[in-house]
Amino acid sequence: MPGAIYAEGLVKTFGDVRALDGVDLDVPEGTVLGLLGPNGAGKTTAVRCLTTLLRPDSGRAVVAGVDVLGHPDAVRRSIGLSGQFAAVDEYLTGRENLQMVGQLYQMRAKQAKARAVELLEQFHLTDAADRPTKTYSGGMRRRLDLAAALVVSPPVMFMDEPTTGLDPRNRQQLWEVIKQLVSGGTTLLLTTQYLEEADHLAHDIAVVDHGKVIAQGTSDELKARTGGERVEVVVHEREHISTAAEVLGGFGKGDTTVEEHTRRLTVPVTGGAKLLAEVIRELDSRGIEIDDIALRRPTLDDVFLSLTGHVAEEKPEGNGEQGNKQGNKKNTRKETAK
């Protein structure tokens, strides 16, 4: 049986650009799928197709048990969407924005008011509740937009880069809200450029590049595909490199690589910390002095790099200096929008 979000062979072209080039997805009910990919990979296009905002050229999608192309209205009633760019009415206050959404969903006025109060509290917007949203900062708009997506608790939620533009504290808070939501049974598809976010929230991760899902699995599975763990040793003396290589070779599950100028040796291993202790004892018994030794596990960054050939665009807490230009520009625009 297909999951709460299911897609088969989705294709969407814009002129010459194949934004989606045959995307298949299957998200079991009550789980979170993280769609991970660089700028222009097709993440937003996938979300828009699945949420009935865009009609794919071909392919099939079923959301909350309903055929997306056949019954878009029914799909819309079962889903919540928070888009990549916050969609709030500038001239209404935060409270009014939330109440309006409630009323659009046919809530009684009293119920809509009460729900707005709850959400304002949950998203730390109570103090700003009665100001027009055009006075909100980018992060506040983002939070209001997410709150709006949660006015009614839909069984299936889509969040397109929910925490882009949030500071680390607000990002953490939002992660907590998302976890609560999912523990209540909601199925969620979220797109993100923050590997840490996918690692933290997603049961399954689909890496998208050039409109295709190029890898899918749990964070651990994807990391294992990137070569698993390895021991890295920096020896103190250049003359010790060959003996150290011999020692590491005895423990390794593959070839030892040696970087002469940094005196760094790396070998793939299995066995974790216990093995690391044995390696240290053996090096010591051979009289090899070491400057540094570490057990390295691949990060999602390594996975991303090895799959797409480029590093992830942005870092959650980085200063953005080395981040992707486009990504940063996007942030700046959002944060300064007035």
The per-residue DSSP string of 163-215 comes to TTT--HHHHHHHHHHHHHHHHTT-EEEEEES-HHHHHHH-SEEEEEETTEEEE
For ligand ATP, the binding residue among 14, 249, 310, 332 (CB under 6 A) is 14
Using the rule CB under 5 A, give the single segment among 44-52, 201-209, 224-232, 254-262 that binds Mg ion: 44-52
Q: Residue 114 is inside which H or E element, if any?
A: helix 109-122
Residue 260, burial from CB neighbour count under 10 angstroms (0-12, 13-18, 19+):
exposed
Half-sphere exposure of 48 (CA within 13 A, CB side): 16
Nearer to Mg ion, 44 or 99 (CB): 44
Using the minimum distance from each CB to Mg ion, give the nearer residue, 43 or 141: 43
Q: Is 56 within 8 Å of 38 (Cβ atoms)?
A: no
Pair 307, 243: CB distance under 8 Å: no
Binding status of residue 315 toward ligand ATP by CB under 6 A = no
Report 184-213 residues binding Mg ion (CB under 5 A): none
Interaction of residue 17 with ligand ATP, rule CB under 6 A: yes
Q: Does 216 bind Mg ion (CB under 5 A)?
A: no
139 makes contact with ligand ATP (CB under 6 A)? no
49 CB burial (10 A radius; 0-12, 13-18, 19+): buried
Q: Where are the alpha helices (DSSP H) in 59-93?
A: 72-78
Is residue 84 involved in binding Mg ion (CB under 5 A)?
yes
Judged by beta carbon distances under 5 to 8 A according to partner kind, the member of Mg ion, ligand ATP, none in contact with residue 242 is none
Segment interacting with ligand ATP, rule: CB under 6 A, options 34-42, 69-77, 97-105, 233-241: 34-42
| Parallel/antiparallel/unpaired status of strands 32-36 and 257-259 | unpaired
| Nearest to Mg ion of 38, 298 (CB atom) | 38
CB of 68 to Mg ion, least distance (A): 19
Among 10, 41, 98, 140, binds ligand ATP (CB under 6 A): 41
Told to check if 51 binds ligand ATP by CB under 6 A, we report: no
When computed from its CA atoms, the radius of gyration of the chain, rounded to whole angstroms, is 24
Q: Which two tokens stand for residue 36?
A: 């991970």
Given candidates 3, 25, 33, 44, which one binds Mg ion under the rule CB under 5 A? 44
DSSP 134: G
Distance of alpha carbon 317 from alpha carbon 196, whole angstroms:
10
Nearer to ligand ATP, 186 or 192 (CB): 192
Contact mark string toward ligand ATP, 158..197, x via CB under 6 A: -----------------------------------x----
How distant, in Å, are the alpha carbons of 191, 200, 235, 257 from that of 242? 46, 40, 10, 11
Shortest reach from residue 214's CB to ligand ATP, in Å: 13
DSSP 54-66: S--SEEEEEETTE
Q: Which of 5, 45, 64, 139: binder of ligand ATP (CB under 6 A)?
A: 45
Residues contributing to the site for ligand ATP (CB under 6 A): 14, 17, 19, 37, 39-45, 84, 193
The footprint of Mg ion (CB under 5 A) covers: 43-44, 84
